[in-house]
Amino acid sequence: MDNRILELLEQQTEGYLSGEVLSKDLHISRTAVWKHIKKLEAQGYKFEASRRLGYRLISKPSKLSIQELMEKLSGTSLIKAIKLHESVDSTQNIAQRLAEDDAPQGTLVIAEQQTSGRGRMGRKWVSPSGKGIWMSLVLRPRLPLQFASQLTLLTAVALCRALKTVAAPLDIGIKWPNDLLIGGKKISGILLESTAEDERLKYVIAGIGISVNLEADDYPEELLPIATSLRMELGRPLDRADIIAAFIIEFEQLYNVYQNEGFGLIRTVWEALSVSLFKPTQLKTPTGIVVGTPIGLDESGALLVKLEDGSLLPIFSAEMSP
């Protein structure tokens, strides 16, 4: 029905089509027409509605296309296949199923919308249609299981560097371990889910969510004080394909450096981009609350926290206070 409404409005070269005509043509009530218009608006279509004249289609959402992405990624070799979906529960689930079916490293799953996007610590991830980048990348690194956290930090560095380029001059920093913030508000999150066999990584699904063109009314009210989008910060919409390409280019470079030379360089760059260091904080770890000042990463990727007595405690997993 949504498509029928769009077809009729698109054919309407003179401009408006009244709710009455739409309801007669489609054999539905005017309230039903209005509900479909609202649903389409949520998908990014923009209409002008006039009580007297009816509805007019002003603009369609910009859609991602595999061909455009492949062109933008032509100088890279990491991406082997792109699976683009209109709406999925979570790109993590799709990528995981593909990985189980032997999809190669470099399989990238992207969705215009996620109905059950998930974040770290069991949280929901707001993923409205056409407004952001919701994607999951299948990786098959030859690494022991405990190195997965280094990949999380590497992904954050790649994303931060990419966004700093495409969304200059925004000041984007990494909050430990891998949230990207602008002025203390989150614009992007990373969720790494790994599967291991005999203590070695079998595959890793790197899930990346970037709030690109969301507007204030795309967020639940309780998130507005802590979340923002590139569009809200820059005051203009951004091209999502450019951002995906910028990220993949950065990621591929860092992933190659990491596989050839280890974690050293990633660690240094992560520390340089971090907004979490040298500020007293509180960390909720699986074994209790830790209060101290993060001063850097150790060679394994753990956060080094200086405690009140001057000792250094490596933290592998925790939730950091804002």
Residue among 44, 117, 141, 177 that touches ligand BTN (CB under 6 A): 117
Residue 305, interface with ligand BTN (CB under 6 A)? no
| Non-local CB neighbours of 10 within 8 Å, separated by 6+ positions | 57
Rounded-to-integer distance, Cα 250 and Cα 256, Å: 10
Residues constituting the chain: 322
1 three-state secondary structure: coil
Residue among 9, 135, 241, 243 that touches ligand BTN (CB under 6 A): 135
Residue 211, interface with ligand BTN (CB under 6 A)? no
Residue 113, interface with ligand BTN (CB under 6 A)? no
What's the one-letter identity of residue 181? Answer: L
| Total site size for ligand BTN, rule CB under 6 A | 20
Region of 4-12, 140-148, 206-214, 307-315 interacting with ligand BTN (CB under 6 A) = 206-214
Which element (helix H / strand E) includes 172? strand 172-175
Rounded-to-integer distance, Cα 153 and Cα 147, Å: 10
- Smallest separation (angstroms) from ligand BTN to the CB of 204: 13
Rounded-to-integer distance, Cα 307 and Cα 313, Å: 7
- Smallest separation (angstroms) from ligand BTN to the CB of 145: 20
* Closer to ligand BTN by Cβ: residue 127 or 150: 127
- Smallest separation (angstroms) from ligand BTN to the CB of 121: 7
Q: Which residue has the tokens 């039903």?
A: 32
- Smallest separation (angstroms) from ligand BTN to the CB of 126: 9
Rounded-to-integer distance, Cα 192 and Cα 149, Å: 8
- Smallest separation (angstroms) from ligand BTN to the CB of 1: 28
Q: Which residue has the tokens 């074994």?
A: 287
DSSP state, 145? G
The answer to whether residues 60 and 5 touch, using CB atoms and an 8 Å cutoff, is: no
Residue 128, interface with ligand BTN (CB under 6 A)? no
137 three-state secondary structure: strand
CA dihedral 315, 316, 317, 321 (to 10 degrees): 30
Binding mask 185-204 for ligand BTN (x = CB under 6 A): ----xxx-------------
Residue among 136, 149, 211, 213 that touches ligand BTN (CB under 6 A): 136
> Which phi and psi (to 5°) does residue 188 adopt?
-160, 150
Closest residue to ligand BTN: CB criterion: 189
* Closer to ligand BTN by Cβ: residue 113 or 150: 113
- Smallest separation (angstroms) from ligand BTN to the CB of 208: 6
Residues annotated within the binding site for biotin are 114, 118-120, 186
Residue 123, interface with ligand BTN (CB under 6 A)? yes
Residues engaged in binding ligand BTN (CB under 6 A):
90-92, 114, 117-120, 123, 125, 134-136, 179, 189-191, 207-209
